Amino acid sequence: MLRQLQKTFWCEQPLITRQSIIDYVGSHFRTRLQRPSWHTNSDIARYLIDNYILIHLKNDKAKFNMLMFVFNRLII
C-alpha cells in the first residue's frame, strides 16, 4: 500500500521511513491546524494523530490496528 502511495503522490522526498511520512503529513496540515510557527512538522503530525484520529485509543499501534481493521471491513 505504501508503494502505491509513493507512485501516486510522489514528492521531493521518498516516503520510506516513519519519520519521513510523519513530516509529510505535518507539512500538509500545518496551515489547516493553525499551530504556532515554531512547531515542527513532526509536532503538527503528532498533534493531529493524538487529537483528531481515533482519540479514544492512546498508542499508535492500537490506532494503526484499528485503521487497518476498518479499512479491511470496507474492502470486504
Could you give the number of structural domains in the chain? 1
Residue 9 has pLDDT above 60, yes or no: no
Longest dimension (CA), the chain: 43
* Domain containing residue 19: 2-75
Q: What is the CATH number of the domain that holds 30?
A: 3.90.1110.10
So what's the pLDDT on residue 13? Answer: 67
**pTM above threshold 0.75:** no
Select the more confidently predicted residue: 44 or 15.
44
Enumerate residues 6+ apart whose C-beta is below 8 A from 14. 6, 20
Helix 18-33 / helix 41-52 crossing angle, nearest 10 deg: 80
pLDDT at 16: 83
Quickly state the pLDDT bin for 15 (edges 50, 70, 90): confident
The percent of the chain in helix, strand and coil, each rounded to the nearest 5, is 65, 0, 35
Alpha carbon distance 53, 56 (integer Å): 9
